[in-house]
Amino acid sequence: MARENFAKAKTYRELLVKIKDRSARVGVVGLGYVGLPLSMELAKAGFRVTGFDIVKEKVKLLNSGRSDIDDIPDNIVKDMILNGRFKATTDFGEFARMDTISICVPTPLSKTKDPDVSYILETVNQVKKYLEKGTLVVLESTTYPGTTEDLILPLLEETGMKVGRDFFLAFSPERVDPGNTKYTTENTPRVVGGITPACSRVAKLFYEQSIPHIYSVSSTRAAEMVKLLENTFRSVNIGLVNEVALMCDRLHLDVWEIIDAAATKPFGFMPFYPGPGLGGHCIPIDPHYLSWKLKTLNYYARFIELAGDINSHMPEYVVDRITAMLNQRFAKALNKSTILVLGVAYKPDIKDVRESPALDVIKLLEDKGVRIYYNDPYVPVIDWNRSKHKSRKLTKSLVEKADVTVILTNHSSYDYQWIVDNARAVFDTRNATKMVKRKRNKVQIL
């Protein structure tokens, strides 16, 4: 256990010492899918961590030793609470006691797809009130290149303190993949970029205490661009394969067969898979941050915009395919039908519905007069069209009364053979039924 030292670091060298011996007091702002896993890793490494959040119910839940995040079981939070390694609070006055402050707040898009950095600015203004010499501030929230240097730095320097001497400022993009048990916060390499060389050294040392592989880049702008490249790469490639799915439909080809065959090539090809759209906080949103930034420099990011257009229209394509299936199989109009949706989380085996394309598909169907039922073992309640709906128990009678059962999230707990055997018709957007015996004309895949 690190020695107890409640004296606040006042200089660069003092901060380095406190980080190395784990006596630094660590603050993490935002206790969601990024902040809570980070807090737990830092606490397990021996730091005393204070988690900050504006949601009182979340703070109360965490302090009782319970977690609301898929990847963090209750027992880990409970152990860190009982060992005095973690506590949650809504009191931003506690910033004054912190040696390091990691900002992990949301960065959504506005309705016009412009970056909304209001949560970052609100947090930084609170940090500024209590900032003392010898503090490391790290932004982890995904944002456009220049945010740390152009927005955060001027606010913190309004205190009269100088970056790289009195306080230290860096950017280290989160790389959280909810539900991924192989790559977690603990073993996923970190990228770090500071405003000054001293800022980079402090931030690198800080993350090295809990994460084995740290890669330093030349600036905060470079680190911000790294994150956007990672997710833009995925968005563009998913957009490409979604368009290939549209092409294969016109050509009467099975896109999944094509991808599987191409994936046998041991070089020069990386398989991506089509689906009903993009979900999660990162991939549907982050590329728009880069596109927006480039527009301010009079540059049009064509790949990003095209991929975004294709991906955003996939829910409409799914509805069109369901409509055609109803007409061909039952000669039935969409607005006279009953549809069962399986899975509303944005990816398998988690409860996260952020930006889930399943919600878009459901809304489009309901707006057209369809009676909708849904089942998701991870999501008991969802809101759509401004009303709450509960997950139905997956029974034989429920499956049988639906004209079409639509698989939108391929949870591993589903018995797909049972679903195919009992459903009147199945539209599979994830190729989840690949390994089961499909009955002729009963199952269609995206």
Q: Which of 166, 289, 172 is nearest to 219 (CA)?
A: 172
Any residues with CB less than 8 A from the CB of 340 and at least 6 apart, and which? 373, 374, 375, 392, 398, 399, 402, 404, 405, 406, 423
| Residue 118 CB coordination number (10 Å) | 13
Catalytic residue list contains 282: yes
Catalytic residue among 104, 199, 248, 282: 282
- Neighbour-count burial for 357-396, b at 16+ CB within 10 Å, e otherwise: bbbbbbebbbeeebebbbbbbbbeebebeeeebebeebee
Locate tokens 């740390």: which residue? 148
Beta pairing, strands 338-342 & 25-29: unpaired
Q: Are 203 and 229 in contact (CB under 8 A)?
A: no
Locate tokens 């519905």: which residue? 353
In whole angstroms, give the CA distance from residue 2 to residue 172.
25
Helix or strand holding residue 317 (H, E): helix 314-330
Return the percent helix, strand and coil in the chain, to nearest 5: 40, 15, 45
Q: Known catalytic residues?
A: 282
